[in-house]
Amino acid sequence: DLKDSEEELFKEDITKYNFDRLYSLLYEYATYIPASTFEGNQTFVSLFDHLKLTSAIASCLYLNEPNNNDFVMLEFDVSGIQKFIFKVTEGKDTKRGISKSLRGRSFLISAITNCITYSYLHEFGLTQSNIIFNTGGGALLLLPKCDGYKERIEKVSDVIQASLLEMFHTDINYVYSFVECDADELEQFKIDKAISLKAMLEEEKLRKFHNRIDDKFFYQLPDNASICVMCGSNFVKRDGDRCKVCDSITELSDFFVKHEKMFLLYDFSGKYKEILHNCVCIDMHYMQMYLIDSKDVSSYKQVIKHGYDYIESINHSCLGNTRWIANLAPQKNRNILQFEDIAENLLTKEEYGDLKLGILKMDVDNLGAIFAFGLSKTRSLSKYLTLSRLMETFFGYHLIHICEKVSKELISNLKENTDNDNMFYINYAGGDDLVIIGPASGILLLAKEIDHSFHQYTNNKNLNISGGITIMSPSKPIRLGIKEAEENLSASKKAKGKHAITLLDRTIKLERYGNVLETVNVFKEYIDKKYISRTCFYNMMSILDVNNIDEYYHSIPLLMYSLKRNVVNEHIRCELKKEIATKNTIEEVYELVVEMKLAIMQTRES
């Protein structure tokens, strides 16, 4: 019977495979079960997160000396992410490979973060349970305060930093800090400990590479004189060649196009170099990571047969840690569409006018403060863990479905243009932010849908998101568009109360953004149905593009005269008067100008 089966099960040794399989099953089936029902609807921690943290604490106590109930919280942050992702030479020989390269670089950053995470866990013999959060650009780990822990942390850190410096020079590195805490401080995850950890981390950022500086750090004679055609920085044997890093990035991108679900194997022993073949290897010198297709039964059996150090299931829950990666890009004939094709071939000029490329960058407002202070009354590490995981789930999983939904709304014949019913290229999404590239008209609608879905997901008016949009020619270097989107996001963050979006040099509150898009559609209809010419509309928009409310008031008579002369339909003329001549604040005027600019952009002069 069941009781006898349970007794037999626990007589066996708990193997790595057994633990990882049970871990993934608990993630799949216990994530949305409350850890306790005594608090009624005030329960905020899932059963999975409670069990995960209990496992992490037990592991640390087991490694500590008897009667030692103290712990170590270690946090690290990867530096140079944006610089590395967009460090691509956009010349005539590489332009067509940009979209593939950006995709591979984005995943490589995530893999490096995981590599650092598991390197510390491997040193202490811990499991994935001890990962409190992993955002793709940093992580927080729970470690034991055992004898020699500082030396062990420093030893691992030295190996990792040496590897990163050899592979990426100063483009990619990381800093770390750690604090000790007792059982009470861990239970409540006290604010002063969290702030102290962050402050130490920020201090470390000011002295990156301090333990790596020697004569070779500043100057080292290269073995070759030619430069990689793709990244423009690493040396290669011949002109036109790509460096090893860029070759690996291309392999990663090709693998992601062909496979939706996969395993990521972490090997610290080096034994899989001669065993696994039908996969992609990321060689970090001191360890290797292997991407394995979830349908590759032969490789999977080899992994189970020979054992492994760590394994993750990507975009499915099967074995080990489950990680959701927003692996989405428009594809045709199993190839990623280039940015020019995304802008010019997915939407039609007849429906959407000037076919521009749009770049959207969004970020959760005040998330650091929410983690630090938002749970002060009932603060616990379990709640911190649950909130972090839920954020990761939104940006890694739900975002894909939002993009697919908007794609289908805009393109009726989407299947004719893409293989995967999608028009958006998710360049990066993880932790609490995202970068998405797509047709400009699609990006405008996507920003609204993400904000709406995020509020439905959190059901919390205090959790908001802000964004920045760039609208650009597809021939313009993509890195410049990303930089502009970042600047626009920064402008949104400066708005009172945040929760804003900036585009076309103007910042609009997101609660008003939906109304703006509705007005854009009304203006588009007026132009398409020839109630007003596009040229006349453009001239009025130019008159309205003022710097203060007084200039706006002075422009009204000229606008009324233009409407009288150029709009024959009396009803439409009255509606335009209401829209154009009834603004009370300069912010409303700014919104109107944005609406008119977008309407002009999305129409064509007949």
Return the CATH fold of 14-221.
Answer: Alpha-Beta Plaits (3.30.70)
| Long-range contacts of 339-344, Cβ-Cβ distance < 8 Å, separation of 24 or more | 339/98, 339/99, 339/425, 339/437, 339/474, 339/478, 340/474, 340/475, 342/99, 342/423, 342/425, 342/437, 342/438, 342/439, 342/474, 343/439, 343/440, 343/474, 344/474
Q: How confident is the model at residue 151 (pLDDT cuts 50, 70, 90)?
A: very high
What pLDDT sits at residue 12? 61
- 464-519 pLDDT, tens digit per residue, is 999 999 999 988 888 889 899 999 999 999 999 999 999 999 999 999 999 999 99
What six digits make up the tokens of 453?
A: 């879905």
Is the pLDDT at 332 greater than 80, yes or no? Answer: yes
Burial of 241 (0-12, 13-18, 19+ CB in 10 A): middle
* Alpha-carbon separation of residue 419 from 111, 342, 407, 415 (angstroms): 27, 13, 13, 6
Phi, psi at 429, each rounded to 5°: -155, 120
Q: How confident is the model at residue 221 (pLDDT cuts 50, 70, 90)?
A: low
Phi, psi at 582, each rounded to 5°: -125, 30
> Are 14-221 and 341-503 equal in CATH topology?
yes
- 125-138 pLDDT, tens digit per residue, is 999 999 988 887 88
Q: How confident is the model at residue 256 (pLDDT cuts 50, 70, 90)?
A: confident
**CA nearest neighbour of 446 among 328, 350, 600:** 328
**CA nearest neighbour of 117 among 107, 130, 108:** 130
Could you give the CA distance from residue 517 to residue 308 in angstroms, rounded to a whole number? 52
Q: How confident is the model at residue 88 (pLDDT cuts 50, 70, 90)?
A: low
Spell out the domain ranges in the chain: 14-221, 235-323, 341-503, 516-606
Q: Which amino acid is at 52?
A: K
Give the gyration radius of the chain's Cα atoms. Answer: 27
Could you give the CA distance from residue 62 to residue 50 in angstroms, rounded to a whole number? 18
**CA nearest neighbour of 45 among 63, 32, 60, 55:** 32
* Alpha-carbon separation of residue 448 from 86, 137, 405, 445, 471 (angstroms): 26, 26, 12, 5, 16
**CA nearest neighbour of 594 among 532, 543, 520, 522:** 520
Is the pLDDT at 55 greater than 70, yes or no? Answer: yes
Q: Which amino acid is at 178?
A: F
- 515-560 pLDDT, tens digit per residue, is 999 999 999 999 999 999 899 989 988 998 888 999 999 999 999 9
CA angle centred on 388, ends 387 and 394, rounded to 5°: 90
- Give 454's contacts (C-beta < 8 A, 6+ positions apart): 394, 463, 464, 465
- Give 579's contacts (C-beta < 8 A, 6+ positions apart): 519, 522, 592
Could you give the CA distance from residue 144 to residue 126 in angstroms, rounded to a whole number? 9
Q: How confident is the model at residue 206 (pLDDT cuts 50, 70, 90)?
A: confident
33 conformational bin, left if phi > 0, alpha if psi -120 to 50, beta if neither:
beta
Architecture of domain 341-503: 2-Layer Sandwich (3.30)
What 3-state class would DSSP assign to 389?
helix
